[in-house]
Structure 1
Amino acid sequence: MSLKIASFFFILVISSLFRASFQAFLVPITKDSATQKYTLPVYLRTPPRPVNLLLDLGATFTLIDCSRNYASSTYHSIPCGSSLCSSLGPHSCSVCSGLAGPGCSNNSCALRFTNSGARKSTVMGEALMDSMSLPVTNGRNPGPLGTIHDFIFSCTKGPFRRAHVKGASGSAGFGRSKLSVPAQVSKSFHEKLLFALCLSGSPAAPGVGFFGSPGPYYFYPEIDLSNRLTYTPLLSPQLSDEYFVGLTSIKVNGKVVRLTQHKGVLPAKISTMTPYTTLRSEIFKALAEAFVKESAAANLKSIEPVKPFGVCYDADDVADTPAGPAVPTVDLVMQNEGAAWRIFGSNSMVRIFKGGVDAWCLGFLDGGNHPKSPPVVIGGHQMEDNLLLFDVGSKRVGFSGSVLVHGTMCANFNFTKEETLL
């Protein structure tokens, strides 16, 4: 047998072993305490080099800072007239004066980028390709790197500064787009288009993201959180790559909050770029009033609020529970009958130490009355220590509720590398 044939069969065997044991790809996700946003590491280029990216749940595609000595044997642009360029949607050429990568050509395909922050903006960037690698996992440990060849992204013209996250060299787009990180990972390995996020609230202990598999996802002590999910449909707003679910009501301590100006389904966006859940003014006021009323019934008296929060309590007056401070529960009732995302004190309250004040404050904010903004934006704080499964292919979202009540947390995934995973 020739060396070439032997090599071919060796690669085939390794590939078969990989497919047999493959469960998902994963990334650790770390909270940036200064901005209350989240970052994740990926391996880019050939040979692979780590790069830390801002997690943008609603962004169309990935932006990378290529301004400092970007070198890779697998890096290349996409010609304007190519079928691949045409498949990427609306584009233009001659973008080298805007966002561009090394060796930009005025015949390069371009991408249209829309961020998902409070102030939306759209920019153009050159469409580029390179190899990206992520660890594979069996649901318990990370294993060797698996490579996504010809990963499509764009370069920023200069150093990445959006959101001012220290150490971030770009943003990872997780939106409902075929150019998002989850979509490209799933397509590369012919896996289902879905991903799961389990965000940790501690900057010292990362949470985790999974790509391509509905589970199992094991957290110490041997708890598979994929079995704890309730599902609700994904809404499909026009011209948006963001994730929306429908709320039929909001409850405090099981009692429906009266919303006089809103009937039917409330669109609620899920966002990692919004630190705290933001509500349209009339919704916030109704929720705050109901929360204060239920708290008073439990002998909790509100104090002067600490901005930007509207309801606060002296920390000494609030008892502790395994699911956080002992305060009224908040339920986001979904379209599915009986499906409610219950928010306990760990996710509804924020500890504030400011000007000699030690307080627990309601972590829901008044978002004003902007008709073009979603009535509800579910923020990162409410997502922490909750497992969220975005099943894009089936157009649904699974949510676990607080995993603290199951005796674990999102920081409890075992990141000890398993070399024999394959």
Structure 2
Amino acid sequence: MVLSGSKPKFIFSSVLFFVAILSSNAQNNNHDAFHIAITVDTKTHQYYGSFQTGTPSHNVNPLIDLGGSLVSLSCNTSSSTLRFVPCKSTKCKDLKGVCGSNGACTLSSYNPIDNSILSGSLSDDIVTIHKTDGTMVYADTNSTHLDISCVKSKSFNGILGLGRTSLSLTTRLSSAFNIIPKLALCLPSSNDNGFGDLFIGPGPYMFEGGADASDWLQQTGLVRSSKSDEYFVDVKSVKIDKRIVHIDSSLLSLNSETGVGGTKITTTAPYGILHSSIYKAVVGAFAKSAAARNITRVAAVKPFNACFSVKGVHWTELGPRVPLIALELSGRMGSVSWKINGANSMVRVNKNTLCLGFVDGGLKAKTSIVLGGLQLEDNFLVFDLSTSILGFSSSLKPGTCSHFRNF
């Protein structure tokens, strides 16, 4: 459960709040980035973007997959601008596609919704996304042909892949409009006060009062794995209430050749996932620190193993006052700390019980630490693919990613 107090709002607001009428000259300005509004399913901690595609255009709401390899949408065969890529084309060969029954290039991609493999025809169609200059989101849009995977399923909402690949939305938009390959993400914890944000392109990312979020983000390097298109960071240690948790350091390092170990950031896992040995150490240290605060451990509630009574727990602007988890990472001038406060570490499973929002991934877990949706909500993250740098805010609270934007 995410609790909030006073909320500093972004300058960006939705069309429901205010519509800015732009002159024809303003519409011809060269805005440097694109914006997609984000909504959240609060029960599943899954996040959905909203934009338009096809001719005539229609709205789509695909699942946001930070590590996804491409954009997969349900086939809109009525679109007059939909074009399939032939399987004998150079593009298909470069992407290692195969021939489909219709002669179109067919690609496979991972579906995180049900852990299946998606098969879709590589095609291109018009995609229409709102422009932004970092101060406001503009009523005018840019429409361009982008590569998508056309999946023949009426029940499929789509997947918005943002991974480190040639076909991700980040790469395709950056290439099409010659802008810096950068994405900024602000996942909302609720839809009560508006929407979250996905920006593709450079900042600024302005807050009320004229503050540019890119000026005060902490920074750490992104680690690349030859076996994955996802985003990894190099966690050096884990602390709970400023005390180091004793963890096998070999698990914290990512083996770039095998893809084993390391710390991954993902939008599709609802909660954090820890290798069993790390989970045991973290839970033990967390429970010990909680007991020192007179917080009582109670029976587990699936899928969580570490649960606590709400009796005696106080709530603050940062969520329930529980032991602070901090991930220590390498920064430009020494170590930097990603602080995970109660709002991003705890799940209220019923009126009497709070559970630690991490689950045991088992001893054979490929990735040692996974930061899921709960850990990312109401945090501001900037992934700069040109420099391989991650900028992160830790929790924005008492602020929130749920807000209205100027349109």
TM-score (norm 1): 0.83
* DSSP-derived class of the 1:285 partner: helix
In the other structure, the counterpart of 2:147 is: 152
Q: Are the counterparts in 1 of residues 33 and 133 from structure 2 also a CA contact under 8 Å?
A: yes
Partner amino acid, structure 1, of 2:384? D
2:395 is aligned with 1:402 = yes
Q: Show structure 2 runs of 5+ residues with no match.
A: 1-23, 254-260
In structure 2, how many angstroms separate the alpha carbons of the residues matched to 1:388 and 1:262?
A: 27
Which residue among 160, 180, 189 is the counterpart of 1:172? 160
Shift of 1:160: 3.7
In the other structure, the counterpart of 1:52 is: 61
Q: Are the counterparts in 2 of residues 61 and 153 from structure 1 also a CA contact under 8 Å?
A: yes
Partner amino acid, structure 2, of 1:47? P
In structure 1, how many angstroms separate the alpha carbons of the residues matched to 2:113 and 2:277?
A: 22
* DSSP-derived class of the 1:381 partner: helix
In the other structure, the counterpart of 2:382 is: 389
2:255 is aligned with 1:258 = no
How many residue pairs are counted as aligned between the two chains? 374
* DSSP-derived class of the 2:294 partner: coil
Shift of 1:148: 4.3
* DSSP-derived class of the 2:402 partner: helix
Q: 1:115 to 1:260 in 2, by over 3 A?
A: same
2:87 is aligned with 1:90 = no
Which residue among 291, 300, 304 is the counterpart of 1:305? 300
In the other structure, the counterpart of 2:359 is: 365
Which residue among 189, 197, 203 is the counterpart of 2:185? 197
* DSSP-derived class of the 2:48 partner: strand
Deviations 1:319-358 (A, max 9, x none): 01111111111011113331111111110111121xxx52
In the other structure, the counterpart of 1:183 is: 171
Shift of 1:403: 0.9
In the other structure, the counterpart of 2:20 is: none
Percent identical: 34
Q: Are the counterparts in 2 of residues 60 and 115 from structure 1 also a CA contact under 8 Å?
A: no
TM-score (norm 2): 0.86
Deviations 1:291-345 (A, max 9, x none): 1111111222222222211222222321011111111110111133311111111
In structure 2, how many angstroms separate the alpha carbons of the residues matched to 1:54 and 1:264?
A: 29
2:354 is aligned with 1:352 = no
In structure 1, how many angstroms separate the alpha carbons of the residues matched to 2:303 and 2:88?
A: 50
Shift of 1:146: 2.7
* DSSP-derived class of the 2:352 partner: strand
In structure 2, how many angstroms separate the alpha carbons of the residues matched to 1:261 and 1:137?
A: 42
* DSSP-derived class of the 1:219 partner: coil
Of 201-210 and 321-330, deviating more is 201-210
Q: 1:37 to 1:299 in 2, by over 3 A?
A: same
Of 71-80 and 242-251, deviating more is 71-80
In the other structure, the counterpart of 1:127 is: 122
Q: Are the counterparts in 2 of residues 332 and 340 from structure 1 also a CA contact under 8 Å?
A: yes
Shift of 1:285: 0.8
2:197 is aligned with 1:208 = yes
In structure 1, how many angstroms separate the alpha carbons of the residues matched to 2:111 and 2:264?
A: 14
Of 40-49 and 259-268, deviating more is 259-268
For residues 89-128 of structure 1, the aligned pairs below 5 Å read: 89-93=95-99, 95-96=100-101, 105-106=102-103, 108-116=104-112, 119=115, 121-128=116-123
Q: Are the counterparts in 2 of residues 112 and 124 from structure 1 also a CA contact under 8 Å?
A: yes
In structure 2, how many angstroms separate the alpha carbons of the residues matched to 1:294 and 1:377?
A: 22
Q: 1:157 to 1:264 in 2, by over 3 A?
A: closer
Shift of 1:84: 3.1
Shift of 1:80: 2.5
Partner amino acid, structure 2, of 1:150? H
In structure 2, how many angstroms separate the alpha carbons of the residues matched to 1:154 and 1:263?
A: 35
Shift of 1:224: 2.9
Root mean square deviation, CA, Å? 2.2
Shift of 1:381: 0.4
Deviations 1:97-134 (A, max 9, x none): xxxxxxxx32x222231345794x44432110001011
Shift of 1:220: 4.2
* DSSP-derived class of the 2:92 partner: helix
Which residue among 413, 416, 419 is the counterpart of 2:406? 416
Deviations 1:26-65 (A, max 9, x none): 1111111232201111110123221111111111111111
The structure with the largest helix share of the pair is 1
Q: Are the counterparts in 1 of residues 124 and 146 from structure 2 also a CA contact under 8 Å?
A: yes
In structure 2, how many angstroms separate the alpha carbons of the residues matched to 1:24 and 1:240?
A: 26
* DSSP-derived class of the 2:51 partner: strand
Q: 1:333 to 1:118 in 2, by over 3 A?
A: farther
Q: Please say which structure displays the higher CA radius of gyration.
A: 1
In the other structure, the counterpart of 1:279 is: 274
In structure 1, how many angstroms separate the alpha carbons of the residues matched to 2:335 and 2:71?
A: 37
In structure 1, how many angstroms separate the alpha carbons of the residues matched to 2:197 and 2:214?
A: 13
Q: Are the counterparts in 1 of residues 251 and 262 from structure 2 also a CA contact under 8 Å?
A: no
Partner amino acid, structure 2, of 1:194? K
Shift of 1:239: 2.8
Partner amino acid, structure 1, of 2:325? V
Name which structure has the greater RCO, CA cutoff 8 Å, separation 6+: 2
* DSSP-derived class of the 2:393 partner: strand
